[in-house]
């Protein structure tokens, strides 16, 4: 089973307006609310590709209950810990001439509730995969992910990390099976600019040498690069289409890659990852399975 962790999920309120005037009254031409959070996005795309998963994390208040309802309606099994106070955050995503966001802080997560999440790691086995992604709520310690990773590693579970900066570096001693930085995040890790596939491959290999088993680097319109545990380096082209909303594209790539690897096919995993990421980038929310399958034949490995 694949378990995804979203420590600070949200309801994302997406609003579109033709023109935005700062300090003035603006009217939306379209709005929608979606379940937000990187782990949730991974679970939704996995479901759309026919792969089951369980979404873990924390929810609170009436917004948390709505989030759980929406996740279940999307076909995802959830096992969120309900907090006694506070409310799941609402993030406002404004789409105008430029994209702007206001992200909430999220509820206070007491230590005993984090311990409840930690205890869920004890059911994992070597047949399970744990996906760690997204931000850490201010009320949790900065080592929350490494604490979860340590407990999961003791059970032999495979670790997948879609994290950036220090959060990713701190996880490397636990030998994550897959890490997925984008090329900007990879450049920040090594204090450089990663602008093309050869440089992405070089730094992906360095990250692999530091502890990651497989390093998948997403590069937006340039596709992706994979430095795999057997020493090979592979590339894949990007899906072609008009970008509507980039939120969730990287999470969809992770899900597509996992779905492909569930079939034991690394080439399929890269192609399915690129197709899933592209399909979501070309949609308002997480793309459905049909959209991914339409794009799949157009995505080629190098």
Strand partners, 190: none
DSSP-derived letter for residue 173 is G
Torsion of CA 170, 174, 176, 181, to 10 degrees: 10
**CB-side neighbour CA atoms (13 Å) of 3:** 25
Residue 122 designated active-site: no
Spatial separation of the C-alpha atoms in residues 205 and 183, rounded to whole Å? 13
Spatial separation of the C-alpha atoms in residues 151 and 124, rounded to whole Å? 9
Spatial separation of the C-alpha atoms in residues 282 and 240, rounded to whole Å? 9
Spatial separation of the C-alpha atoms in residues 3 and 131, rounded to whole Å? 6
Q: 3-state class of 91 per DSSP? A: strand
Residue from 35, 38, 58 nearest 109 by CA: 58
Spatial separation of the C-alpha atoms in residues 137 and 6, rounded to whole Å? 10
Spatial separation of the C-alpha atoms in residues 2 and 121, rounded to whole Å? 12
Compute the chain's Rg from CA coordinates. 19
**Which parts of the chain fold into alpha helices (H)?**
38-48, 61-73, 111-120, 144-154, 165-171, 183-189, 197-209, 249-261, 266-281, 289-295
Contact indicator for 195, 202 with CB cutoff of 8 Å: no
Identify the active-site residue in 79, 128, 170, 251. 251
> In the block, which residue shows the tokens 């850490």?
136
State both tokens at 15. 């609003």
Please identify every residue annotated as catalytic.
251
């Amino acid at each position: 089973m694949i378990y995804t962790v979203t420590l600070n999920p949200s309801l994302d309120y997406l609003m579109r307006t033709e023109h935005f005037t700062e300090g003035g009254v603006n009217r939306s031409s379209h709005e929608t609310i979606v379940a937000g959070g990187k782990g949730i996005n991974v679970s939704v795309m996995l479901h759309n590709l026919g792969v089951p998963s369980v979404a873990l994390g924390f929810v609170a208040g009436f917004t948390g209950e709505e989030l759980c309802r929406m996740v279940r309606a999307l076909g995802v099994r959830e096992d969120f810990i309900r907090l006694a106070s506070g409310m799941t955050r609402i993030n406002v995503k404004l789409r105008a001439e430029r994209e702007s966001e206001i992200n909430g802080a999220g509820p206070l997560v007491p230590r005993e509730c984090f311990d409840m999440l930690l205890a869920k790691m004890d059911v994992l086995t070597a047949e399970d995969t744990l996906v760690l992604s997204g931000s850490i709520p201010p009320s949790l310690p900065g080592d929350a992910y490494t604490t979860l990773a340590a407990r999961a590693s003791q059970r032999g579970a495979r670790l997948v990390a879609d994290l950036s900066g220090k959060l990713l570096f701190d996880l490397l001693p636990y030998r994550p099976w897959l890490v997925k930085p984008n090329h900007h995040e990879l450049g920040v890790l090594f204090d450089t600019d990663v602008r093309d596939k050869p440089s992405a491959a070089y730094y992906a290999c360095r990250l692999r040498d530091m502890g990651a088993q497989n390093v998948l680097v997403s590069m937006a319109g340039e596709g992706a690069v994979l430095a795999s545990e057997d020493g090979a380096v592979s590339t894949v082209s990007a899906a072609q289409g008009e970008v509507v909303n980039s939120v969730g594209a990287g999470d969809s790539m992770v899900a597509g890659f996992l779905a492909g690897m569930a079939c034991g096919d690394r080439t399929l995993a890269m192609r399915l990852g690129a197709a899933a990421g592209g399909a979501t980038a070309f949609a308002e929310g997480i793309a459905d399975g049909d959209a991914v399958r339409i794009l799949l034949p157009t995505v080629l490995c190098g």
